[in-house]
Amino acid sequence: MQITDDNLSAAIYRALRRVRHLKASDPRDKIFGILGLCSAFGSLLPKPDYSMTESDVFCEVARALILHSQSLQILAEANEETSLVGHPSWVPHWSIPAIVGLPTESARCYNASRNSNAEFEISSNNKELWVAGKGIDVVEKTSLASSTAYDFGASDWQRIAGWQASCSLGLSLTEYPTGEPVREALWRTLCWNVAKTDQYPAPADKKVIFEEWYRVLTADEEPKRTSRELEAHRRFNELVRSRRAPLCITEKGFLASAPYTTEVGDRIVVLSGARLPFVLRPVEDHYKLIGPCYVHGAGIMDGEAFPENPEELEWFSIW
């Protein structure tokens, strides 16, 4: 593909997603190392400068991509667990795997902000991002298993406890706000309502696959044996997007799939220009970005919760 100025930020974004899981002795080389892939990349990415901290390098990249694309797409990548002190939560750390790593094609299925343009400002030191958006709900209950269920390198048998906890929480609901059966809402939330072919909403026949998967998942078996049986029913196993994004229940009674780092009291917000809702955590006078999420019902993923009147938006300060 020929890279023009119009698609330069998209090309860099794709390259960064591809190298994210590759090894590098110096995290800054996740940026400096891709400069040789295309001469055009150097017009947007920072020049190799090892006097810069890794946080500063990643911050410059985030600023450049957001300003060039006028899009908040990159925020969907900012949901890793980094120990860098003072690193802004809205800036992806490209040397650490994302908790929720959705395929780009899947993210395009949604339209949570109703085709709105991104409204944002970035501080001069690249630490603070102000974004216009709309708070739509608050996390009321979470469904965490042991931490090993959400480790990046966990095997399927280790993840079973997490899936069981999510299903148990979902089925604790006696009714669903949309009026649809709770089990319907459960399986659609587990797979973010998308089929493997990125068909949205997921076809109704996936319910049959889910029921067989759920039967095996909840059988009174030893985890490794259950894992082997799930492998035989991997058609739904492949759809489950909640490997590290267990289910939670919101104050309005909706099911949501969000990063396992989500806590009770976190806000679910739709940001202008973003295709997915985000979980934000109030911290004193600002917010910490936890990551993207899926909320089932009320047309939230299709923009029906996003106001048409810009005056109804509020500004969120994210560090």
Q: What is the pLDDT along the chain (319 residues), one digit of tens a residue?
A: 568 877 999 999 999 999 998 999 999 999 999 999 999 999 999 999 999 999 999 999 999 999 999 999 999 999 998 888 899 999 999 999 999 988 777 788 999 999 999 999 999 999 999 999 999 999 999 999 999 999 998 988 999 999 999 999 999 999 999 999 999 999 999 999 999 888 999 999 999 999 999 999 999 889 999 999 988 778 888 888 778 999 999 999 999 999 999 999 999 999 999 999 999 999 999 999 999 999 999 999 999 999 999 999 999 999 9
Amino acid identity at 167: C
9-13 long-range Cβ contacts below 8 angstroms, 24+ apart: 9/44, 9/64, 9/65, 9/68, 9/69, 9/71, 10/69, 11/38, 11/40, 11/41, 12/41, 12/44, 12/45, 12/65, 13/65, 13/69, 13/73, 13/74
Helices (H) and strands (E) in the chain, counts: 9, 9
Give the pLDDT of residue 168: 98
This prediction has a pTM of 0.96
Under DSSP, the state recorded for 31 is: H
Distance CA 80, CA 102 (A): 13
Give the pLDDT of residue 1: 54
Distance CA 180, CA 186 (A): 10
Helix or strand holding residue 71 (H, E)? none
What tokens does 88 get? 């802004």
Q: What is the 3-state secondary structure (H, E, C) of 280-308?
A: EEEECCEEEEEEECEECCCCHHHCCCCCC
Distance CA 187, CA 193 (A): 8
Q: Which residues contact 95 (CB under 8 A, 6 or more apart)?
A: 20, 24, 27, 30, 54
CB-CB contact of 270 with 71 (8 Å): no
Give the pLDDT of residue 159: 93
Distance CA 221, CA 229 (A): 10
Place of tokens 């400096």: 32
